[in-house]
Chains A and B, each alone.
Chain A
């Protein structure tokens, strides 16, 4: 019962490098999300997707891109890494819209700790 799987767990990038954070879920959830968590801060939404082929910006999308070609996968792309992108990144998924308590619950991966030096 894997749930939401993120890879890699840790990564160090140099300024200007690019990388993709992988996220996959096996719960057949419609909604997927990417968050970042900075020290002492809450979770800030970067991008979200309501289904395959549909993505939209969250609160802090600058410097990131996403794609959703399948229901299961939702990779996050950093094109030109900057020190401000040093953070812990969490991917999450949920059934979808409100209407029942179960649909509001998000299931999170274990996170990717990224340092940009």
Chain B
């Protein structure tokens, strides 16, 4: 059962435009959501996060929106730059026993076209 879903395997956007990456989840116990960015031959790196008690978090060009009723979150990148081309993973976290369990989505490959 895929508790965190990224239904778009890939996305192409023109430089300067907005990139919107989507993520859906099924577990209402998730209390923290994170986005990671991954370049080829590198490990994922943390990008931005949001607590379940908030509906928006912004960091420079990156904004994450959370819609708890729809169990949906999205990452907005504006303006998109060629260096943003990477795979983006959505992750959700929930307390499970004494452990903060993190579940990752399958990733969306973003290509920003110059």
Contacts and interface: CB of A to CB of B under 8 A. Distances in A.
B32 A42 contact: no
Contact of A111 (B34, B42, B45): B42
B43 A98 contact: no
A75 B102 CA distance: 20
Interface string B10-46: 0000000000000000000001101010000111111
Of listed B9, B49, B98, B102, residue having the most chain A CB within 10 A: B102
A76 B77 CA distance: 36
Interface string A76-96: 000000000000001010001
A74 interface: no
Interface SS majority for chain A: mixed
Given A40-B9, A42-B105, A104-B93, A109 B34 contact: no
Contacts of A41: 106
A92 B45 CA distance: 10
Nearest to A59: B103
A97 interface: yes
B52 to A, nearest CB: 11
Interface residues of A, number: 25
A11 B93 CA distance: 32
Given A40-B106, A42-B89, A42-B106, A109 B100 contact: no
Interface string B37-81: 000011111100101000000000000000000000000000000
Contact of A42 (B51, B95, B100, B104): B104
B43 A104 contact: no
Contacts of A35: 104
Nearest to B9: A40
B99 A106 contact: no
A110 interface: yes
Contacts of A105: 34, 46, 49
B49 A101 contact: yes
A111 B105 contact: no
Contacts of B51: 101
A58 B32 CA distance: 19
A34 interface: no
B43 to A, nearest CB: 3
